[in-house]
Structures are given as structure tokens and as C-alpha cells.
Amino acid sequence: MSQLYRFFATCPKGLESLLLDELSSLGAEKVKETVAGVYFDGPVLMAYRACLWSRLANRVLMPLINVRCDTAEELYNAVKTIEWSEHMSVDGSFAIDFSGALRDINHSHFGALKTKDAIADYFTESCERRPDVDIKTPDLRVNVRAAKGMLVVSVDLSGESLHRRGYRLSGGAAPLKENLAAAILLRADWPGVAARGGALIDPMCGSGTLLVEAALMTGNIAPGLFREHWGFDRWLQHDAQGWAALVDEAEEFEQAAKTRQWPEIRGYDASPKAIDFAQENIDRAGLNGVVRVLRKELSRFTKPTHAELNYGLVVTNPPYGERLGEEDSLIHLYRYLGQRLKEQFVGWKASVFTGNPDLGKQMGLRSNKQFQLFNGAIPSKLLNFDIGEKAFVHDSSRTIDAPILPPSMDDLSEGAKMFANRLKKNKKNLSKWIKQTEASCYRLYDADMPEYSVAVDYYEGWIHVAEYSAPSKVDPAAAEKRLEEVMKAIPVALEVQPKYVVLKQRNKQKGTNQYRKREDTNEFFEVKEGQAKLLINVKDYLDTGLFLDHRPVRLKIAELAKGERFLNLFCYTATASVHAALGGATFTDSVDLSPTYLEWGQKNAALNGLSDTAHRFIRADVREWLKQTDQLYDLILLDPPTFSNSKKMEGVLDIQRDHIELINDAMKLLSRDGLLIFSNNQRRFELDAEALASYAVEDKTNWSFDKDFQRSKKIHHCWFIKHQK
């Protein structure tokens, strides 16, 4: 069997040069790269070796004819000239894979049918009977390609695609094909990293394909060892003895791998199901103990500390937003991934494979090399990074300009001076508390002087001014003048440029008006609260996305959430859910009727590396949802609006009238030892203590105000409610 043949190995587009190098290293001769494949010469055993060892090929084909062909009749005649009895028995079976088109063949099914007829007629004329067609497990798989007037008919020696190694029976959502995973690792220089003692970590490993392929590559384990069936098994020219020798050789390499010193290969994923799939695949590949996987949110992605890992490769295939609306949240996931890499993995390499390269730009890292690849039919890119200061892209959009010297106090009116002095005094009084708590957002003023009826909030350099509606007895001209004095005084008192001072007038909102944009700048920026990063928008909506007065409640939730099931009712932008998740909640459910706020909440979650697997966002009328769900929770936040008559909900919500029903329905979902935190912003609200006598109710209103809200304790109410022991 030393006769030389011409073979063709197919592969996904973008992998051709890698496959050429691989086949050359396996001993192939006269290798030639073309679109989606590589030609090579060698004996039949060379083709067997390619089937067994190629990490990149899809199929290994042995062409029987390569002729000009324009019509269906010419195809039939060409196929019939092949001596099929040299390749399969009349008692056997065959299947046809047809691709391409001819002048009068525009459908692959018709092309396959004409090929089948030619092979059947060949046997009928010589043997008076014909082989069977078996699509699933044929004795011979015939590959036919027609393009540009040429016809190539080949024996498919691989059988099913070589990317199906046999170790992966469970895939999970959108798994990478094994040969694409191998190509990613080669382009990321994983062999070089491993040779230098580096580790490999995939923070979003899914079913673990990158991890298993990395281990097989490092251990020099043939990827074909896990397959049970090949296209040449019942081929009449099969060299069974030569094949057995190749398998024996590969098994010796596999045994030798068990005694080697393995690099650290780890994977994390937020989905328990994905981790289960990954572990099953690792076990089938015989890599248990070599490859380790663990359920872990991206928010907890850090460099392992069990051993000193100073160098390695972080490689991953994050989601890239195929569904409408996903991309907005994924922007923050990619930003979070980039931030983690910059904080934890300086000196390492990183490779991110994505079908949306624009998301890759959000990482704040400059790639040193990019490769165009295809994930199926999706054009994708592999972005390679050397994690270090040279690669860091500094985001100037978050930088507050150095203040231009504003007008001096002397330029202000007497009223404006009075307001400016009050702001300065308040800021000074809060300075010690701000330093101790590291508060980055806080209230500076809340109608301290009745004639200046505004709230002034500080958000990391931005000033948000909310004007309260003046009573009807107040002269509108006088109110307008005082507002002008406020806006002139703030830049002087706080030493900020006027463009960072945003004014809003707070009128009573009805229906969905509270959710509608006032402007359309779409300018979100990050602020820090406790261990959470949260998105703020000071211009577009009536509120900024963060109710500052509820800060103590959110931080308490973070403190209490570890190991607990958390429910956030009327969740707004889900800031409390983020705190609960980062505090270690088992899972969080956030319920709201507003798609605007739920999308905002999803962005907040992604910003903190939290997945939608353990942290769900549910669009529903809270009152109806409470009556329909039977899930139990250990920690519940119930913070309803004062009043709502949204068209999307049944009836009208009035918190004074409806609070007992809401609390009772929420308590039905609270575990025996759980805690319900009930709060609202109705200034004249009175809790019906008699109706709640069956519960243990503790008034926490005074506790729930930080120092920046001590001046006005009527802004909200807060209670802790538990089941009676």
C-alpha cells in the first residue's frame, strides 16, 4: 500500500494555512492550500494519519475522478465510469454528499439522485442487483463537488465530519466546533504558552470545548482516538493492519500523557447545566483531574490562588448578541471582562473569539493581532492581547474636565450667594462621612431653604438638580428667578463647569410618562456603590437610575444575601439585585413592568459580570405575578411606587390602599426564616399595623437614612417584616 495518491482535506474558511502546516508536520507531501481545504499527496496510511491526528480538518477525501462536466447527463456518465466494485460490495451500502451546481443541476438533492442512479446502474449492469442506500451508517460515503464546470467525485475516508471527535455528546448553547476551538488555540499560541509553563483559563467555558482541545493538544493526544466509526472501515481497499499500527502508536502517546506534568487548565461558567455538560465531556476525553471546571459568575473571575500562576492564556468565546437588544447589555459584559483582565492578568496573554468585533472594542484593550475566522457561516474575529500597560486603552469619556474658573462669588446676586454658601456648608459637613464611607454619589441639598425648592445630588462629578413643583400661591416669575440663582450658584460653590450641571423639573408623572425619555443622549456612565458598579444617566430620564436615599437598604441586602434566594419587586434598574448577587445570593429574580428599566437592570448586571442564568429579569405586573408564582425566597425587597396607572397593568396601584395585599402576597413567597424589606416614598404613608399583626414588623425608617439624608426624613419609609416564630 505504498502507492501515492492525491487527497483533499476540507476545513472551515480561515483555517487553510494552519491545516497546511499541520498536514506537513504529519508527513504529507506536495501540500497545496486552496479555499476551504488543502491538497496533499501520500500513501493511504498518510490519509489515515490525517484522519486520526488532524485537529483542524473536517473531512479527508480521496478523489476518484476530476473531469469537466456541465450537465446532469455528463455527471451520470462520469460517475458510472468509476470502477465502484473496487470500493464497495454489491451487498453493502452507500450514501452521497453532493455540493455545488452544474448548468442544469441547481439543487443538491437532484445532484445526489443522479449520482445514486449512476452507481446503482453500474452494479445492476454488472451484478444484476444494486447496493442499498444508507444515509446514516453507509459502508461507503461518496463525496461529489461540482463547481465552475468541473466535477470531483471522491471517497470520504473520514465518514462523518472529523470535528466530531466523539468525546462531546452534550453541547449546551451555541457550542464551538472542536476544530474551530483547536484553531483558536493555535492562533492564540497555546502550545507556546504551555511550553513555557503557562496556564489556561476560560472564564465562560460553556461545554468545555476549548479546555478539552487545549489538553489534547498539550498531551499530544490524537483527537481521533475517541471515534468509533470511520469512512474507511468497510472500504474494500482498507488497510486494516496499517490502521491498527497507527492506532497503537497513538494510544502509546496517550498513555505517556498520563505521566506528564500538566499545566493548569481551568474553566468557569455561570450555568450549572453548562458545567455539567463540560464535566461529562472532560470525563469522556479521559481528562478528569487534568481539566477542572467550576460554576462561577464572571463577577468572581480572578486568577486562581491555589498556586503561583504568573503567566498564562485567558481564552474565551463570549456571547455576542444574536437577539435584538442583547448587544446593549453585552457591551458592559465585554467591558467587565476587559477590566478583569487589566486588574488580574497583567503579563498574561488573552484571546477573545467573537462574532461581533465591535463588542471586542469595548474591552479597553488594544489587540496586538487579529484573525478572521468563521463560526459556521458567521464571520468572526479572534482578538489576541498581551495584557500590559501598552495594551490599555484609557477611556476619556469618563473624565470630568478640569474646571474652568467660574464666576466668583462677587458676581452672584445676594440670593445666589446665600444658596452657594449653603451648598459649601453642606459639603463641608458631609466631608468626613464621605471619606469614611467612600460614597461617590450623595445628596448635597434638599430644599433646605424653602424659597430654593430643589434637590441637588452629586454623581462623581456630575450635578443633578431636581426642581420641586412650586405651590400655586408662589409667583411663577419669582420661582423662575430663584431657579436661575440656583443654576448660577452651583458651578461657583462646587467648582464644576456648568455643562456638568443638569436641571430637571419634577412634575407628577402619570402612566408611562415616568419611563419616557426627556432627551435622547443615551449617555450612561458608571458610578461605584459598595462593591457594585452601576449605570447612571443624568440627562435622559426624570430619575438617574439610582435612588440615593435607599443606599443603606441596598448595602444591607448585600450584607444579608450570601446563600439566599433574592426577589426584587418593582425592581426599577435592579441596583438592589446587583448588590444581592455580588453579596453571594444563590440567585436573584427582578420583576418590573417597564422594559426600559429591565433593560437598564440587565446592563447593570452585565457591568458586574453577572449572567442571566442565575439572575433573571421578569417583565410582569408585580401584583399579578405575585399571585401566580410559587417560588420561595429568603430575602425580598418590596419597594412599590406611590401610585401607578400604567396601561400595561390591571387597575390602578395606590400604595396606601394596596400595601396590605402586596405585603401579604409577598409574605407567601418568603421562607420561614426569611426577611421582607418593605419601603415606599409616600410622604404621608401610614402602615396598617393592625392588619399586619400576624407578622413581626420592625420600623427601620430612621436607620434607613444615611447622613446625606438626615435633613429630610419624610422622603421614604422602611420596615423589616418576618414571620412570627
Q: What is the pLDDT of residues 188-218, one digit of tens each?
A: 999 999 999 999 999 999 999 999 999 999 9
pLDDT band at 327 (very low <50, low <70, confident <90, very high): confident
Region 562-577 average pLDDT: 97
Please give the pLDDT value at position 536: 95
Please give the pLDDT value at position 328: 74
pLDDT band at 325 (very low <50, low <70, confident <90, very high): very low
Task: Please state, as a whole number, how many other Cβ atoms lie within 10 Å of the Cβ of residue 409.
Answer: 14
* Across 100-114, 638-652, 657-671, least confident range: 638-652
**CA pair distance 395, 365, nearest whole angstrom:** 10
**CA pair distance 370, 34, nearest whole angstrom:** 21
Contact 573/535 with Cβ under 8 angstroms? yes
Contact 614/588 with Cβ under 8 angstroms? yes
Q: What is the pLDDT of residues 352-411, one digit of tens each?
A: 999 998 899 989 999 999 999 999 888 999 999 999 999 999 765 555 554 454 567 878
Angle CA(638)–CA(567)–CA(549) in degrees, nearest 5? 45
Q: In the numeric block, which cell numbers belong to residue 121?
A: 446502474
What CATH number was assigned to the domain covering residues 529-725? 3.40.50.150
Please give the pLDDT value at position 407: 60
| φ and ψ at residue 571, rounded to 5 degrees | -70, -15
**Annotated domain spans of the chain:** 178-218+262-397, 400-508, 529-725
- In our burial notation (b when 16+ CB lie closer than 10 A, e otherwise), range 136-162 reads eebbbbbbbbbeeeebbbbbbbbbbeb
User: Helix, strand or coil for residue 709?
Assistant: helix
Please give the pLDDT value at position 320: 80
pLDDT for residue 287 is more than 70: yes
Task: Please state, as a whole number, how many other Cβ atoms lie within 10 Å of the Cβ of residue 387.
Answer: 20
| φ and ψ at residue 269, rounded to 5 degrees | -155, 150
Contacts of 297 (CB under 8 A, 6+ apart): 270, 581, 609, 610, 611, 614
CA distances to 154, 219, 330, 373, 535 from 184, rounded to whole Å, are 29, 17, 21, 9, 33
Please give the pLDDT value at position 169: 79
> Which residue would you say has higher pLDDT here, 34 or 324?
34
* Across 478-482, 525-529, 616-620, least confident range: 478-482
Please give the pLDDT value at position 395: 64
Please give the pLDDT value at position 725: 84
Q: What is the pLDDT of residues 155-172, one digit of tens each?
A: 999 999 999 999 987 655
Residue 7, beta-bridge partner list: 40
Cα torsion 83, 84, 86, 87: sign: positive
* Across 38-47, 73-82, 292-301, least confident range: 292-301
Contacts of 546 (CB under 8 A, 6+ apart): 441, 459, 527, 529, 534, 536, 573, 575
Please give the pLDDT value at position 92: 95
**CA pair distance 96, 245, nearest whole angstrom:** 30
User: Helix, strand or coil for residue 96?
Assistant: strand
Please give the pLDDT value at position 193: 97
User: Helix, strand or coil for residue 458?
Assistant: strand
**CA pair distance 239, 256, nearest whole angstrom:** 26
Locate cell 430643589: which residue? 454
Tell the CATH superfamily of the 400-508 domain.
RNA methyltransferase domain (HRMD) like (3.30.750.80)
**CA pair distance 523, 5, nearest whole angstrom:** 63
Contact 423/493 with Cβ under 8 angstroms? yes
Helix (H) or strand (E) holding 443: strand 441-446
* Across 1-5, 140-144, 415-419, 608-612, least confident range: 1-5
- Percent of the chain exceeding pLDDT 70 equals 93
Do 178-218+262-397 and 529-725 fold alike per CATH?
Answer: yes
Locate cell 458592559: which residue? 332
Locate cell 449546551: which residue? 172
Contact 383/352 with Cβ under 8 angstroms? yes
pLDDT band at 324 (very low <50, low <70, confident <90, very high): very low
Q: In the numeric block, which cell numbers belong to residue 409?
A: 462669588
Helices (H), 438-537: 476-494
**CA pair distance 558, 580, nearest whole angstrom:** 5
The distance from CA 349 to its chain's CA centroid, rounded to whole angstroms, is 20
Helices (H), 386-475: 414-437
* Across 302-306, 351-355, 643-647, 683-687, least confident range: 643-647
Please give the pLDDT value at position 693: 95
The distance from CA 406 to its chain's CA centroid, rounded to whole angstroms, is 45
Which is it for strands 454-459 and 462-468: parallel, antiparallel or unpaired?
antiparallel
Q: What is the pLDDT of residues 431-449, one digit of tens each?
A: 999 999 999 999 999 988 8
Task: Please state, as a whole number, how many other Cβ atoms lie within 10 Å of the Cβ of residue 92.
Answer: 17
Contact 297/336 with Cβ under 8 angstroms? no
* Across 325-334, 400-409, 667-676, least confident range: 400-409
Average predicted confidence (pLDDT) for the chain: 91
Q: In the numeric block, which cell numbers belong to residue 421?
A: 454658601
* Across 149-153, 512-516, 650-654, least confident range: 512-516
pLDDT band at 649 (very low <50, low <70, confident <90, very high): low
Please give the pLDDT value at position 326: 65
Q: What's the alpha-carbon Rg for the chain, to the nearest Å?
A: 34
**CA pair distance 384, 387, nearest whole angstrom:** 9
- 10 Å CB burial of residue 90 (0-12, 13-18, 19+) is middle
Region 99-121 average pLDDT: 93
Cα torsion 177, 182, 183, 187: sign: positive
Domain 178-218+262-397 adopts which CATH fold?
Rossmann fold (3.40.50)
| φ and ψ at residue 643, rounded to 5 degrees | -155, 140
Which is it for strands 653-654 and 643-644: parallel, antiparallel or unpaired?
antiparallel
Region 609-628 average pLDDT: 93
Residue 146 corresponds to which amino acid?
A
Please give the pLDDT value at position 508: 46
Task: Please state, as a whole number, how many other Cβ atoms lie within 10 Å of the Cβ of residue 37.
Answer: 23
pLDDT band at 307 (very low <50, low <70, confident <90, very high): confident
Contacts of 448 (CB under 8 A, 6+ apart): 422, 426, 711
pLDDT for residue 509 is more than 50: no
Which is it for strands 378-386 and 349-354: parallel, antiparallel or unpaired?
antiparallel
pLDDT for residue 551 is more than 60: yes
Please give the pLDDT value at position 24: 97
Region 129-135 average pLDDT: 94
**CA pair distance 410, 551, nearest whole angstrom:** 37
